[in-house]
Amino acid sequence: MAIKVKSLKDLSDQYSVKQYVYKDLSLDIGLEKTLKSGFSKSVPGKDIQASLDAKAISNSLLNLFNTRPGQRFLFPEYGVDLLKYVFVQINETNGDAIGNAILHGIEKYEPRINVENIEITAIPDDNTYIIDVYYTIRILSQFIKSSFAIDTKEQSFISLSTDTLTK
């Protein structure tokens, strides 16, 4: 049996009429600033920033790529572990291995999207791989390009951008 709290009904009604399908916490965990009535400047809100739709999926991909299998206690097989490629030579063969690992991970753990193409650009002079993942969000029929980078010098994997494209 559900417990209903009358004071939360307005809040519930506000979120029941939403303009998005997917919502996730923003990875930088900043506070959302809102423009309140009677104020001329934005003021800090009470909510943590949220990522919606395409950005939420891009954050999910970043989490998938940064997680090593065995790292999540309740979901030990989850992850792709692209950071293992920071210690290998930057070349086309290793770029292909990265692309295959990404494709396998997305197909296994991200059912909300269809991968259209993955482009891996090796930049040996900068010790970097640029990864462009082109995909369609199934329920929204949006064509998206999310770009990531593996920086072997800094030993990091970061998100560069997420853009909605037209086919």
Q: Is residue 10 part of a domain?
A: no
pLDDT at 55 (0 to 100):
87
Domain total in the chain: 1
- The range of the structural domain enclosing residue 95 comes to 54-165
Does residue 40 lie in a domain region?
no
- Nearest Cα neighbor of 140 from 16, 24, 19, 14 is 19
pLDDT at 117: 96
Cβ proximity of 69 and 82 under 8 Å: no
Q: What is the CATH number of the domain that holds 70?
A: 3.10.450.40
pLDDT at 153: 81
Q: Kindly state the average pLDDT of the residues 26-43.
A: 56
The reported pLDDT for the residue numbered 50 is 72
The whole-model pTM stands at 0.76
d(C-alpha 134, C-alpha 144), whole Å: 6
The region, left, alpha or beta by phi > 0 then psi within -120 to 50, assigned to residue 162 is beta
The tens digit of pLDDT for each residue in 81-133 reads 887 888 888 989 999 999 999 999 999 999 999 999 999 999 999 889 999 99
How far apart CA 43 and CA 33 sit, in angstroms, is 5
Q: CA angle 61-52-129, nearest 5°?
A: 30
Using alpha carbons, select from 81, 73, 78, 167 the residue that is nearest to residue 117: 167
Chain segment 125-165, per-residue pLDDT in tens: 988 999 999 999 998 889 999 999 988 888 888 889 989 88
